[in-house]
Amino acid sequence: MADPPSHFTPEELERWRFGLAQANLNNILCHCRDCDATWMASDDENIACACGSRRVEHVACWQFPDG
């Protein structure tokens, strides 16, 4: 199955992806489902807790408005 057509040029898409990566810097809330620890990170992939658990949920904080 073919991908749907993009509304962005390749350059625009690259700028959009770069903007998301910048927004995520030190802005991913992580929570360990095993030991209940929470911390901030810059990446939501391959996150492991200090306790060794990989059962970590993550939320990009920039997605939520202040207030």
Over the stretch 24-59, which tens digit does the pLDDT of each residue have?
Answer: 787 889 999 999 999 988 876 778 999 999 999 988
Report how far apart, in Å, the C-alpha atoms of 53 and of each of 33, 35, 46, 58 are.
Answer: 8, 8, 11, 13
pLDDT of residue 67: 57
pLDDT of residue 30: 92
Taking the complete model, does pTM exceed 0.85, yes or no?
no
d(CA 32, CA 51): 9
pLDDT of residue 14: 93
